[in-house]
Amino acid sequence: MKFQILHESPGRVRLRAVQPSMSMEQADLLEAWVMALPGVEHVTVHERVCGVIVVFHGERRALYQSLAAFSYALAEEETHILSRNSRAINREYKEKLVFHVVRHYLKKLFLPMPLRRVITTCLAIPRIWRAGRVLLSGRLTVDVLDGVAIGVSLLTGDHPTAGSVRFLLSLGETLDEWTHKRSVDDLAKSMSLQVEQVWLQTEDGAQALVPLDEVKAGDLILVHTGHVLPMDGLLEKGDVMLNQASLTGESVPVAKHPGAAVYAGSVVEEGNCVLRVTGAVGENRYDRIVRMIEESERLKSGAENRAYHLADKLVPWCLGGSLLTWLLTGDTTRAVSVLMVDFSCALKLSMPLSVLSAMREAGRHKITVKGGKFLEKLSVADTVIFDKTGTLTNACPTVSQVVAFNGGDAGEMLRVAACLEEHFPHSVANAVVRAARERGLDHREMHSEPEYVVAHGIATRIGDKRAVIGSRHFVFEDEGVTIRPADRAAFDALDPGCSWLYLSIGGVLSAAIGILDPLRPEAGEIVALLHEAGIGKTVMLTGDSRNTAAAIAEKLQIDDYHAEVLPEDKAQYIRDEQARGRTVVMIGDGINDAPALSLADVGIAIGSGATIAREVADITIAAEDLRELVLLRRLSEKLMRRIGRNYRFVMGFNGALILFGALGLLPPATSALLHNGSTLLLSMDCLTDLLQE
C-alpha cells in the first residue's frame, strides 16, 4: 500500500494513505497494525482524511519499509481487534451532541413562543416522570433534583429557564457518558489484546500446538491444569475445578463436568479437560471485560465507594437547602438556582474517571491493572514479597548441564523431560523445552495424560512405568525414588551452584537437569528503590535451597527470606503479615504462586509467567523490567492525591454555587451552566496523565 509523506520531524511523521476513502474498520486495522511495529510509540489514524500520525523512535527508513508492506489483508491475518471501537463511539456521540445543539437553537430562533412552550413541556415530561418514579421508590437522587427544578420552572411559567436547564442537563449527560465510554473502551482494549497458543485435538486424539486465531467453532482443544480457557465452549471430556473469579467474582473454584458450558477467562485449577469450542476467537470477551470494569463492586476503590455514598447523602441536603431558600425569601428563582447544583455528578463521574485514566496510563507502560481497589491498596502498601525464580532472577533461565543416571543417555533424558515440561509453561519448564529444541531433539508425545503437582513437579506414565520430574522433595521424599549405588558418586558431585530438576522413570533416578537462573540486572536496584518509595519491608519466599536463597537475599539487601517453602507456606506467611496490620504486595510468576497472589492485598504477576498467575493476580507487569513496580507505586500515590484534590474542588466550587444561587446572584440557567461546565472540565482533567504532573 502507498502512503504520501505530508510532514516529517524528529520522532514523528504525518502521512496520508493513498486511497479514495477509509472506513472505520480499515482505520482500526491500520492503527492496530502500525502500533505493533517495532519502535512505534503512538499512532493516530483519521479515517475521514485518510491521515496517519506516527510517533516513533529508531530508524525512519525501517518504519517506511514496514509501511510499504502494509495491506488490509495482511493486517486482518496478523491483528486481532475488538468488535467495538472508539471511532464508532466518537461518531455516535458527536452526532448526539450536534442533534441536541441544533434542535435547541432551531427551536429558539424559528418557532413561536406558544409552540416552544409546548415542545419544552413535552421534552421535560420524561425527566419529571423519572424523578417521580425515583421518589416513589423511597430514594432521593440527583434525578429528583433535576425533575423538581424543571417542574417548578414550568409551574411558575418560566418556560425559557425550564428549556435551558433541560438542554444543559442533556448536553452534560451526553458529554459525561461519552467520556466514560471512551475511557472504558480504551482500558478494555489494553486488557484484551493478547495472542496465545492452544493444544488442538483431532477426533482421533492427535494433538498439535496452534495459534489461537486458527481455532474455529466446533474444534476440540485440550486445556491443562493452571491454564485459562481461551474460548467459550462445552466440556467434552474431563472433570475440572474452574476458577471463574475474572468473570463472576467468585473466589471459590466451581466443579464442572462433561456437557457443562464454560466460558473464556475461567482458569482450570484442578484437572485437565477437552473443550468443544462454541464461539469464534475473542467473541464476547470484550463485553465481559467491560462488565468487569463497570459493574464489579470488588474492583472499585474505597475512594470511589465513598464518593458514591457521599453524593447520595448530599441530595436531601440540596433539596432542604432549596426549600429553606424559598421559605426565607419567597423567591422561586433562587430556590431553583439551588436545585440546579448537586454534588452527585462531579463526585460520581470524576472519581471513576480518575481511576480508569490511571489504569489506562498503566496500560501504556505494559501494566494491566484490574481495578482501582488495587491501586489504592498499593499506595499504602508497606510490605513487598518476591518469589525468586522468574521474578527476581532472569526471566529466561537456561539448562547448564544434563547428567544421566541408570545407564541412560543425556540427550534421551532431556527429550523425555521436554516432552513433559511443555504442557506446563513456566520459566524453568520453558528452559528445558528450549534446550531440547536447540539440540535438535524431537519430543513428540509419548506418555499418558500428565498430572501437575503444584510446587512439586509433573507425573505421568511412559509405557507401563511411572515417570516424574520435579524438585528434590517431590522426587525423593514424596515419590520415594531411589538412586542406584553405582550412581551415588555422580549424584553427590552435582554442582551446588545450580538449581536441579530430577527425572525418574520406574522409580529410579534417570537424570538430573541443572538450571542456571541469573539475577535480573535491575533486581538490586529495585529493592533499594522500593525502600526509597516508602516500602518498609522486602521479603523473598522461594522453594529453592537455603544456601541459594541466603546468597541472593544478601546480595540484593532483602530484609527477610524463607527458603524451601511450599505454596501453603507462602500463603500462611502473608496471613501472618496481614494479622500484624501490614498491607502486603506479592510478586510472582508461577502456578505455585497463585494462592499467595490471591491472598495478598495486591497480587502482581510477571507477564511471562504461568497463565493462572496472570489470571488470579490483581496486576500484571511486563517481564522486561521490574522498575515498573516503582512506576506503579508512584502512579498509585498520584492517583490518591488527585482523588483528594477532586473532593476538595467539588465540595468548594459547588458549595459556592449553591450559596450564590440562594443569595440571588446566579439565575438557574447560569447555575446549571457553571455546574455542568465545572463537572466537564474536572472530568477532562481526570483524564490527563498522572505521571506528567
CATH code, 512: 3.40.1110.10
pLDDT beyond 90 at 584: yes
Give per-residue pLDDT as tens, 465-500.
899 998 888 889 888 999 999 999 999 888 876 778
Q: How far is CA 625 from the centre of its chain?
A: 18
Same domain, residue pair 511 and 414: yes
628 CB contacts (<8 Å, ≥6 apart)?
Answer: 365, 366, 367, 621, 622
Boundary (domain end) residue, out of 238, 266, 290 = 290
- What are the start-end ranges of the E strands in 140-281? 197-201, 207-211, 220-223, 233-237, 240-243, 254-256, 261-262, 267-270, 273-277
CB within 8 A of 322, min separation 6: which ones?
A: 148, 335, 336, 338, 339
Last residue of a domain, one of 488, 516, 544: 516
pLDDT tens-digit readout, 547-582? 778 888 888 999 999 988 877 788 889 999 999 999
In a domain, 40, yes or no: yes
Rounded Cα gap, residues 487 and 405, in angstroms: 6
Q: What is the pLDDT of residue 376?
A: 86
pLDDT digits (tens, 9 = 90+) for 36-85: 788 888 888 888 889 999 998 888 888 898 898 898 888 876 665 544 45
Q: Which has more confidence, 285 or 308?
A: 308
The predicted-structure confidence for 503-559, as pLDDT tens digits, reads as follows 999 999 999 999 887 888 888 899 999 999 899 999 999 877 777 788 888 889 999
Contact 662, 338 (CB under 8 A): yes
Q: What is the mean pLDDT of the chain?
A: 79
Asked if 234 and 332 sit in the same domain, the reply is no
For 318-382, give the DSSP string: HHHHHHHHHHHH--HHHHHHHHT--SHHHHHHHHHHHHHHHHHHHHHTTEEE--HHHHHHHHH--
Residues 175 and 304 in one domain: yes
Give the residue from 588, 623, 658 where a domain finishes: 623
Q: Between these two residues, 570 and 316, which has the higher pLDDT value?
A: 570
Tell me the C-alpha to C-alpha distance, in Å, between residue 660 and each of 145, 323, 632, 673. 18, 15, 42, 14
pLDDT band at 419 (very low <50, low <70, confident <90, very high): confident
- Enter the pTM of the model: 0.60
Give domain status of residue 693, yes or no: no
Residue 445 within any structural domain of the chain = yes
Kindly indicate the confidence band of residue 318, based on its pLDDT and cuts at 50, 70 and 90. confident
The answer to whether residues 347 and 474 belong to one domain is: no
Cα separation, 598 vs 574, in Å, equals 10
Q: Are residues 179 and 304 in the same domain?
A: yes
Whole-Å CA distances, 259 to 236, 256, 668: 6, 9, 62
Can you give the pLDDT at residue 144? 75
The answer on pLDDT for 298 being more than 50 is no
Looking at residue 569, which CATH number applies to its domain? 3.40.50.1000
Using 50, 70 and 90 to split pLDDT, how confident is the model at 297? very low
pLDDT band of residue 284 (cuts 50, 70, 90) is: very low
Task: Answer yes or no: do 153 and 258 share one domain.
Answer: no
Rounded Cα–Cα distance for residues 235 and 242 (Å): 12
* 435 in a structural domain: yes
Residues 306, 350 share a domain: yes
**Residue 291 predicted with pLDDT over 60:** no
pLDDT tens, 230-254? 778 889 888 887 766 555 444 456 7
pLDDT the model gives residue 250: 46
Alpha-carbon 133 to chain mean position: 37
Rounded to a whole number of angstroms, the CA Rg of the chain reads 30
Task: Tell me the C-alpha distance between 604 and 606, whole Å.
Answer: 7
Q: Is 85 a member of any domain?
A: no
Q: What is the CATH number of the domain that holds 75?
A: 3.30.70.100
pLDDT > 70? residue 280: no
3-state secondary structure of 400: strand
Q: Do residue 35 and residue 106 come from a single domain?
A: no
Q: What confidence score (pLDDT) does residue 80 get?
A: 54
- In this prediction, residue 139 has a pLDDT band, given cuts at 50, 70 and 90, of confident
* Cα–Cα dist 16/25, whole Å: 17
Number of CB atoms found within 10 A of residue 248's CB: 14
Cβ pair 253, 245 in contact under 8 A: no
Q: How far is CA 5 from CA 18, 52, 172, 442, 575, in A?
A: 10, 10, 39, 49, 59
Residue 227's contacts (CB-CB under 8 Å, 6 or more residues apart) are 267, 268, 611, 612
Is 691 part of any domain?
Answer: no
Task: With respect to residue 547, please indicate whether it lies within any of the assigned structural domains.
Answer: yes
Structural domain tally of the chain? 5
How large is the average pLDDT for residues 649-666? 84
pLDDT category at 296 given cuts 50, 70, 90 is: very low
pLDDT on residue 337: 75
Mark whether 128 and 104 lie in a shared domain.
yes
Lowest-pLDDT choice from 579-593, 642-656, 673-687 = 673-687
Q: Is the pLDDT of residue 287 over 60?
A: no
Per-residue pLDDT at 402 exceeds 90: yes
**pLDDT at residue 269 greater than cutoff 80:** no
* 272 in Cβ contact with 240 (< 8 Å): yes
Tens of pLDDT, residues 612-642: 677 677 888 876 678 889 999 999 999 889 8
* pLDDT for residue 140 is more than 80: no
- Are 508 and 485 a contacting pair, CB within 8 Å? no
Domain interval for residue 480: 398-516
Contact 467, 408 (CB under 8 A): no
Residue type, 314: L
- The residue that leads in pLDDT, 386 or 178, is 386
Q: What is the mean pLDDT of residues 315-341?
A: 78
Render 288-306 in DSSP notation, one character per residue. HHHHHHHH-GGGS-HHHHH
Q: What are the residue ranges of helices labelled H in 580-667?
A: 594-599, 611-616, 628-662
Going by C-beta distance under 8 Å and a sequence separation of 6 or more, which residues neighbour residue 664? 329, 331, 333, 334, 337
